[in-house]
Amino acid sequence: MNDTLIPERQASLAWSDALLLELDFMDDTHREFVDLLGAVETAGDDRLIDGFRALVDHTDEHFGGEDRWMAATQFAASNCHTTQHDVVMQVLREALKRGQAGDLALLRDLSRELGIWFTQHAQTMDAALALHLRQIGFDPATGIVRHPDALPEGEIHGCGGASCST
């Protein structure tokens, strides 16, 4: 068999300092996300569905955590960061269904797109959230805000950063 005819599957996204938010509990989750995405992208067809399902489950927890922290720290329920999470979860769940029905190519295409989306999301919305959580001294284990005086007066309707002000 000529190996050059079978290109090795490679992860399109590698962890790097460019993704660091300097908030351990978010960075740890994001490292896990990058690892799981890499596992999907390098999986053979026989492992693709299981890998993608693990990624979807992890992402559900990942987004759910960020959504809870936002809800607990004065973000409006309709804030655009949570809305973006909801849209991406819908796409991932639909893709998993279609993958289970046999459309593995869709899972491979979507996984590559997801890496591109994640980089942008982490560097904008998640970066703004990390800054907010650092400023208010938020402890995700207890929900305690150590610096409540740093919370804004009204609800936050955008994502809390200059990249997303509405």
In the complex, the residues that contact Fe ion under the rule CB under 5 A are 66, 126
- Specify the residue, 28 or 50, whose C-beta has the smaller distance to Fe ion: 28
Across-strand partners of 156? Answer: 75
- The residue whose Cβ lies closest to Fe ion is 126
Please list, in sequence order, all residues whose beta carbon lies within 8 angstroms of the beta carbon of residue 26, skipping any fewer than 6 positions away.
66, 126, 129, 130, 133
Distance, CA of 88 to CA of 135 (rounded, Å): 27
Q: Residue 64 or 152: which CB sits closer to Fe ion?
A: 64
124 by Cβ neighbours in 10 Å (0-12 / 13-18 / 19+) ranks as: middle
Closest distance to Fe ion from the beta carbon of 89 (Å): 11
Q: What is the closest distance, in whole angstroms, from the C-beta atom of residue 45 to Fe ion in the complex? A: 29
CB-nearer residue toward Fe ion: 41 or 126: 126
Shortest distance (Å) from residue 41 CB to Fe ion: 19
